[in-house]
Amino acid sequence: MNRGGMGNMQKMMKQMQKMQKDMAKAQEELVAKTIEGSAGGGMVTVTINGNKEVTDVVIKPEVVDPDDIEMLQDLVLAATNDALKKMDDLTNETMGKFTKGMNLPGMF
C-alpha cells in the first residue's frame, strides 16, 4: 500500500469522527427543543419535547362543550399530530444535512 493511501484513510477517519460528534450534538439540541402543534385555529395547543413526549395541553375554555366531547377529542388529536409532524420535519431538516446523498435506512 502506498503512503498516500494511509494519509487519505486517516483524513477520512478524522472527518467521520467529526461528523459523528456533530451529529451527536445536533441530536442533543433536538432533544432539548419543544414544538407546539395546534388545531381549531389555536383553540387547542399541544406541546411536545424532542423525545416526542407530550409536555403540555392547553384547551381554551370556549372549546369545551359537554354535548360535543368528540369535537374536543378530535382537536386534541389533531393538535398532537400537528406537533409530532413539526418535530419530524425539524428532525429531518436538522439531521438530513449529515446524511445528504447517503442511504441510511432506519437511522432516524
| Assigned domain for 28 exists | yes
| Assigned domain for 18 exists | yes
> pLDDT per residue over 79-105, tens digit each?
999 999 999 999 888 888 877 755 555
| Assigned domain for 87 exists | yes
Give the residue carrying C-alpha cell 399541544.
Answer: 46
56-61: long-range contacts at Cβ-Cβ below 8 A with a sequence spacing of 24 or more? none
CA distance 63 to 82: 18
| Assigned domain for 105 exists | no
Cβ neighbors of 105 (< 8 A, separation 6 or more) are: none
* Statement: the pTM of the whole predicted model exceeds 0.85: no
Residue span of the structural domain in which 69 resides? 3-98
Look at residues 75, 48, 70 and name the one whose alpha carbon lies nearest to residue 59: 75
Q: Residue 28's domain is classified under what CATH number?
A: 3.30.1310.10
| Assigned domain for 103 exists | no
- Report how many domains make up the chain: 1
| Assigned domain for 107 exists | no
> pLDDT per residue over 31-51, tens digit each?
889 999 999 999 999 999 999
